[in-house]
Amino acid sequence: MRRAITAGVALSGLLALGAVDPIPLLIEPGANAYPADDSAKGIEGDVPVTLAIDVDGKIRCSAHSEPDLGSLRRTSCDLVVGRNIFGLRTVEGKLTATTYDFLVRWRRNAGKDQFGGAVPIGRPGWITYADYPPIARHQMLTGRVALSFEVSERGTVENCKVTRTNATSSLADAMCPLLSSRAIFLPATDHEGRPRRTLGRFVTDWRWCDGGRWQSCVPPDRRE
């Protein structure tokens, strides 16, 4: 399978991490991308996927799930390859063969579609309690920040803005820069399979946590 490789500048955050980190990046397709037959049969689960791109741009995708996941194995590869946003890494100025590892999580009750059909990649790492602005943490400030933005045809966040908040500026002003630099999507597609721009929304709810490690605190990402 040979496809054009998208420029890697917009993918230098989470996708670059996914290419070298042993922990697979999580992809959560949601109900819109769910195969109708598998959904009707109640089939759901996690599909580990490896995407390998050689220096000539040839893409190979392999899924490693259990056979009882029906067509979700094939659909997972179709989803990852079909959106075509993945590029080669550059090492010492030269393009090099690149491998990405993902975990495609199929859940029929995944919640509302917040991104207009775009599929989030690595969402748990976008904004975490470790991103609590130091001044806000020191003053034990809390609050909710709602964001709206566009998901581009390349799967990046653009034109992010705060739409409502009850938090101070030290919390609210930090959210769009974080989301814009970290959030990556498999873009939504039109009826001909071409990537299309969509609107997205994201809410963070910052609560004071007096734990010794931020990993034990409630994540600020408030899923709808």
CATH code, domain carrying 129: 3.30.2420.10
Q: Looking at the structure, do residues 105 and 116 belong to the same domain, yes or no?
A: no
Q: Looking at the structure, do residues 102 and 69 belong to the same domain, yes or no?
A: yes
Convert the pLDDT of each residue in 155-168 to its tens digit: 999 999 999 999 98
81, 59 Cβ separation under 8 angstroms: yes
Q: Looking at the structure, do residues 155 and 192 belong to the same domain, yes or no?
A: yes
Q: Looking at the structure, do residues 13 and 102 belong to the same domain, yes or no?
A: yes
Q: Looking at the structure, do residues 119 and 84 belong to the same domain, yes or no?
A: no
The backbone torsions φ and ψ at residue 95, rounded to the nearest 5 degrees and listed phi first, read -70, 140
Cα 7 to Cα 17: distance, rounded to the nearest angstrom: 16
Given this model, what pLDDT does residue 3 score?
A: 37
Convert the pLDDT of each residue in 74-88 to its tens digit: 999 999 998 878 888
Q: Looking at the structure, do residues 123 and 58 belong to the same domain, yes or no?
A: no
Residue where a domain terminates, one of 110, 132, 156: 110
Given this model, what pLDDT does residue 12 score?
A: 47
Beta-sheet pairing, 119-121 with 184-186: antiparallel
Number of domains in the chain: 2
Q: Looking at the structure, do residues 26 and 90 belong to the same domain, yes or no?
A: yes
Convert the pLDDT of each residue in 44-75 to its tens digit: 999 999 999 999 889 999 998 777 887 898 99
Convert the pLDDT of each residue in 7-35 to its tens digit: 343 454 555 444 444 578 899 998 888 88
17: number of Cβ within 10 Å: 15
Q: Looking at the structure, do residues 32 and 99 belong to the same domain, yes or no?
A: yes
Q: Looking at the structure, do residues 42 and 62 belong to the same domain, yes or no?
A: yes
pTM above 0.85, yes or no: no
Q: What residue numbers bound the domain in which 186 lies?
A: 112-224
Residue where a domain terminates, one of 55, 78, 110: 110
Q: Looking at the structure, do residues 153 and 178 belong to the same domain, yes or no?
A: yes
